[in-house]
Amino acid sequence: MEFSTQTTASLHQIKTAALAVGVFSDGILSPAADVLDNASNGALRAVINAEFKAKPNTHLVLRNLAGVVATRVILVGLGKQDTYNAATHAGAELVFANYCANAGLTEGVSALASIDCGNVKLRSRAKAAAIAAGRATYRYTATVSEKTDAAPKLRKIALWVARNKANEAQQGLREGKAIANGMNLTRLLGDLPPNVCTPTYLGNTAKKLSKEFKSLKAEVLGLKQIEALKMGSFLSVARGSYEPPAFIVLKHTAGTKVAAKDRKAPIVLVGKGITFDAGGISLKPAANMDEMKYDMCGAASVLGTMRSIAELELDRDVIAIVPSCENLPSGRANKPGDIVTSMSGKTIEILNTDAEGRLVLCDALTYAERFKPAAVIDVATLTGACVVALGNVNTGLFSTDDALAEGLLQAGRETNDTAWRMPLDDAYQEQLRSNFADIANIGGPPAGAVTAACFLSRFTKSYAWAHLDIAGTAWRSGKDKGASGRPVPMLVQYLLDHA
Ligand code: BES
Ligand code: MN
Ligand code: ZN
C-alpha cells in the first residue's frame, strides 16, 4: 500500500475512483461534504436528507454526483457530532477502506481525517487511516486452493488535508503504514494452522525478518542450547511434543544516529509462543480447541512489532524474546504434581498442565535479565479468565511500575488499541502457595488473570515489568474468525514514544 496527501482546496475536482466524506447524524456536513454540496448545488444535501441517517459504520455510494469529478462519492456516517471521537473516526476509515477493497478499486481518497475530533491530533488520525487500510486489505489465502475471494487490488490511499498540515499527516501515515505491515504479519502468523506455524516456523520467520531489515539480528536456540540454559520450566512443557521447541531472540539495533554514549538500555518484549495448546494431560474440552492455534499470538505480536519498528528505523534498541513449543498430552508430558526447576532456580509445582504459558514465560523473563533492560513487556494469550473479565475490547494490563503502565495505556488510547489496568496486590500471591515447591502454577478459580500475572511477577524482580494478557483481544471467534493484529499498535506506539 502507498499513502499520500492531497491538499487542493477544490475537493470536487480531485480525480479518483472513490472519495470519502463524512456526514454527522445530526445533519451536520463535514467541511469536505460541504465543499461537495456547494459544487453540486445542494444535490449532496438533498440525498442525505432523503436517504442517509449517517449512523456510525454505515455508508452510501453516490455515482456521478453533479459538479464532482470523482467517480464515486462515499458518504460515511459519523454518528452525532458531539460524541465523535478517535474510535468513530477509525471505524469510518475502515468502512471506506473496506468499500474500496471489496469493490475491487485500486485507489481512493479519504477526506475523513480532515475532520477535527476533540483533541485527537491529525497525526493520530492519519495513522488510524493507514491502519484501517491494512486491515481492509488483509486476506488469508495461504492454505486455500479455491481462491473465491479475489485479492484486493487497493494500492493507494490519499488523505485530503489542509496544505499546512500535509507534513503532519505524512508522519502519521508513515507510522500507520509500518504498524499495518506489522499487524498483517501478526495476523498471518496467528491464522496459519498449527501444523504449519510451528516453533521452527516462528524461528524461520525471525530469521527472514533479519534478512529483510538490516537493523534486525535473529538467533534461534534449539533444544540443546535451551537445556544448557537450564530452562527446566519451559522444557517441561516442550517435552510433551515431537515438535522441537525454539527459543527465539530477535534484536533491533538503533541506527548510528544515536551515539554509543547516548544509547538507552534496551526495551525487551517477550511473546508467548505456544503454537498449539491442547492443555497437555489437563486436556482441554474438544469444542473450539482449534482456536488454541492462536496461543502464539503473543509471539506473533512481538515479531510484528519488530517488523514495524525495523521499517521505521526506530532510534532505540529493542529485543524480542519468544519461547515457543507445543503443549500436548503424551507419555513424556508434564503431569499434575510434577515439580520442575526454572532457570531462576525457583521450583514450580505443576498443578494444572494447561497453565503452561506462565511455565514457558518465566524462563524467558529470567533470560531477559542479561540485557539489563530499561523495561520488559510480556505479551501472552495467558488466561481464559481475562476474557471473562474484559471481553474482546480491552487487553489486560498488569504492572508493578506506574510509569510503564501509564505509558502503555496512553499508547493504546493513541492507537485505538486499548488496555485496562488490572490489580497485582500482594494479597493475591498467597493463592500460589505450594506445600511442595517454591510456587504453584495455578491459584484456583478466583481472579485467574491476576494470579497468572502474580506468577510471572515472581520472575521479574530485577527490572521494570508489564504484562499484557491478550487472550480476549488477539483474535475473533465465530464466522469472522481471524487474528486481530493486536497489540502491535499499542506496542509500536509505546516504543515510538520512548525512542
Ligand atoms: N492459552 C490458554 C488461555 C486461553 C484460553 C486463552 C482460552 C484464550 C482463550 C492458557 O494456556 C490456559 O489454558 N489457561 C488456563 C489456566 C488455568 C488452567 C489456570 C485457563 O485460562 O483456563
Ligand atoms: Mn493452556
Ligand atoms: Zn496456553
Query: Would you list the DSSP string of 259-288?
Result: -GGGPPPPEEEEE-EEEEE--TTSPPPSTT
> Could you tell me which residues come within 8 angstroms of residue 136 by beta carbon, excluding any fewer than 6 positions away?
94, 97, 98, 100, 101, 152, 154
How many A from CA of 185 to the centre of ligand 3? Answer: 21
Cell reading at 264: 538507552
Contact 362, 369 (CB under 8 A): no
How many A from CA of 242 to the centre of ligand 2? Answer: 18
Q: Which of 350, 354, 439 to probe ligand 1 with, by most ligand atoms within 8 A of CB?
A: 354
pLDDT above 80 for 453: yes
Contact 449, 382 (CB under 8 A): yes
How many A from CA of 427 to the centre of ligand 2? Answer: 24
Distance (Å, whole) CA 448 – CA 331: 28
Distance (Å, whole) CA 175 – CA 325: 32
Task: Confirm whether 358 is a catalytic residue.
Answer: yes
Band the pLDDT of 213: cuts 50, 70, 90: very high
pLDDT above 80 for 207: yes
How big, in percent rounded to 5, are the helix, strand and coil portions of the chain?
Answer: 40, 20, 40
- Alpha helices (H) in 196-327, listed in sequence order: 199-212, 223-228, 232-238, 297-311
Ligand in nearest proximity to the CA of 387:
1
Among residues 61, 488, 48, which one has the least CA distance to residue 302?
A: 488
Looking at the chain, the domain(s) classified CATH 3.40.220.10 span 2-162
- pLDDT of the residue at 240: 98
Task: Confirm whether 156 is a catalytic residue.
Answer: no
Distance (Å, whole) CA 252 – CA 246: 19
Q: CB neighbours (10 Å) of residue 479?
A: 5
- Alpha helices (H) in 40-121, listed in sequence order: 43-51, 86-102
- Convert the pLDDT of each residue in 47-92 to its tens digit: 999 999 999 999 999 999 999 999 999 999 999 999 999 999 999 9
Contact 78, 56 (CB under 8 A): yes
- pLDDT of the residue at 258: 72
Mean pLDDT of 449-467: 98
pTM of the model: 0.98
How many A from CA of 354 to the centre of ligand 2? Answer: 4
Query: For residue 487, is the peptide bond before it cis, meaning its omega torsion is within 30 degrees of 0?
Result: yes
Cell reading at 269: 518484549
3-state secondary structure of 470: coil
Query: What is the helix (H) or strand (E) element at residue 420, kind and residue range?
Result: strand 419-421
Q: Which of 383, 387, 392, 486 to probe ligand 1 with, by most ligand atoms within 8 A of CB?
A: 383
Distance (Å, whole) CA 334 – CA 433: 19
Report the CATH number of the 2-162 domain: 3.40.220.10
- pLDDT of the residue at 147: 75
How many A from CA of 448 to the centre of ligand 3? Answer: 13
Q: What is the mean pLDDT of the chain?
A: 97
% of residues, the chain, pLDDT over 70? 100
pLDDT above 90 for 341: yes
How many Cα atoms are found within 13 Å in the side-chain-facing hemisphere of 470?
35
Which atom in ligand 1 lies closest to the alpha carbon of residue 384?
21
Band the pLDDT of 151: cuts 50, 70, 90: confident
Distance (Å, whole) CA 490 – CA 132: 15
Count, residues in the chain? 499
Catalytic residue among 125, 177, 251, 358: 358
Cell reading at 218: 535473529
Using CA positions, which residue lies closest to atom 5 of ligand 1? Answer: 384
Contact 9, 92 (CB under 8 A): no
For ligand 1, which residues put their CB under 6 angstroms from it?
277, 295, 352, 354-357, 381-385, 387, 442, 448, 471
pLDDT above 80 for 418: yes
Distance (Å, whole) CA 37 – CA 29: 9
- Convert the pLDDT of each residue in 314-323 to its tens digit: 999 999 999 9
Between 422 and 151, where is the model more confident? 422
Which atom in ligand 1 lies closest to the alpha carbon of residue 443?
19
% of residues, the chain, pLDDT over 90? 96
**Cell 516453533 belongs to residue:** 199
- Convert the pLDDT of each residue in 260-289 to its tens digit: 788 899 999 999 999 999 999 999 999 999
Catalytic residue among 80, 284, 476, 481: 284
Cell reading at 215: 537493523
Distance (Å, whole) CA 21 – CA 276: 44
For the domain made up of 180-497, give the CATH fold: Aminopeptidase (3.40.630)
Q: Is the dihedral of CA 298, 299, 304, 309 positive or negative?
A: positive
Distance (Å, whole) CA 125 – CA 131: 10
Beta bridge partners of 60: 75
